Amino acid sequence: MNVTWLEHLLGEEWEIFPAGGATGDAYYAKQNDQKLFLKRNSSPFLAVLSAEGIVPKLLWTKRMENGDVITAQHWLNGRELKPKDMGVNRVARLLSKIHRSRELLDMLKRLGKQALTPCSIVQDIERTIEFEKLELPVFKEALIFLKKELPNVQFDEKVVCHCDVNHNNWLLSEADQLYLIDWDGAMIADPAIDIGMLLYSYIPEDQWEEWILNYGMAMTPSLERRMFWYVLAQTIVSILFNRARNNLKETNEGLENLKALLGRRQ
């Protein structure tokens, strides 16, 4: 997608500029007081997220002559959440709403998404490590633990997980409405994936129980075990991702985090 296509679609009176992001497929458009966020080939999942009030309102969807589908959402003034904001009740409540949404789950299933399982995660990690010929002792130690714990982290109740609950993906509008954006990596999986990464990244451990109560359930040994397992696995995946892109600083930080996690395993 480029500005020429958008000018043809919207009209030359609109001011259009890139919204950033890895794909380059997102743009902002502005005309007087009207503001739009435009994206190319968003998933049909976006319509359900909008209807549920989880992302800013979807205004329209249009198919271009070349087959591309352009979506337009309200461009809202607001701010990303800061790390210190992640402990507020509304974050826990919105994540709980997402995990309990039958509409979101049904839509992802209709789109052909298969549930993510602990076994498939371990297999993907092992394939990548073998392909890259990585023989770091810390990876070997982590994989031994992950495989040993597989019988203890099975959980049948799969839900829609965002899988990247970083504070930068939470938007608080000027109207004080909270949204969770950037759903490209959404999966059907154990809710412990989202909960674990959020708690380990942002919430002091002595506040986990209170946060989980605000989410709408109680902390259990099973949840704690699954949270730790997924955080450990996601840390390895993040290291492999950054290493493949020569992000040396992030790779080294990830390795240190992995060592620290292994040091606290039970």
**50 and 119 housed in the same domain:** no
User: Is 135 found in the same domain as 220?
Assistant: yes
Nearest CA-CA partner of 93 in 207, 13, 151, 178:
178
Residues 34 and 158 occupy one common structural domain = no
Last residue of a domain, one of 59, 75, 91: 75
Same domain for 137 and 241: yes
Give the β-pairing of 15-18 and 34-40: unpaired
CATH of the domain at 28: 3.30.200.20
Note the pLDDT of residue 132: 87
pLDDT above 90 (res 184): no
The pLDDT, as a whole number, for residue 153 is 98
Mean pLDDT of 80-106: 97
Co-location of 146 and 199 in the same domain: yes
Assess whether pLDDT exceeds 70 at residue 5. Answer: no
Say whether both 142 and 244 belong to one domain: yes
The mean per-residue pLDDT over the stretch 227-256 comes to: 96
Q: Quick one: 61 and 108 in the same domain?
A: no
Task: Please report where in the chains the tokens 């451990």 appear, as a residue.
Answer: 205
Same domain? 31 vs 89: no
Per-residue pLDDT at 200 = 97
Per-residue pLDDT, 3: 59
Domain boundary among 60, 75, 90: 75
Residues 89 and 69 placed together within one structural domain of the fold:
no
Asked if residue 243 and residue 144 are part of one domain, the reply reads yes
Q: In the prediction, which pLDDT does 149 show?
A: 97
Q: Which of 85, 164, 182, 184 is catalytic?
A: 164
Residues 51 and 101 in one domain: no
Q: What is the mean pLDDT of the segment spanning 172-182?
A: 95
Query: Is it the case that residue 23 has pLDDT exceeding 70?
Result: no
* Closest by Cα among 200, 215, 202, 166 to 87: 202
Domain match, 139 and 53 both? no
Q: Which two tokens stand for residue 192?
A: 């412990």
How far apart are alpha carbons 158 and 145 in whole angstroms? 23
Domain that holds residue 198: 82-264
Q: Is position 164 annotated as part of the catalytic site?
A: yes
Q: How confident is the model at residue 195 (pLDDT cuts 50, 70, 90)?
A: very high
Query: How many domains are there within the chain?
Result: 2
Say how far apart CA 133 and CA 140 lie, in whole Å.
12
Residue predicted with more confidence, 6 or 145: 145
pLDDT score of 88 more than 90: yes
| Helix (H) or strand (E) segment spanning residue 26 | strand 26-31
Mean pLDDT rounded to a whole number for the chain: 92
Q: Residue range 4-13: average pLDDT? A: 73
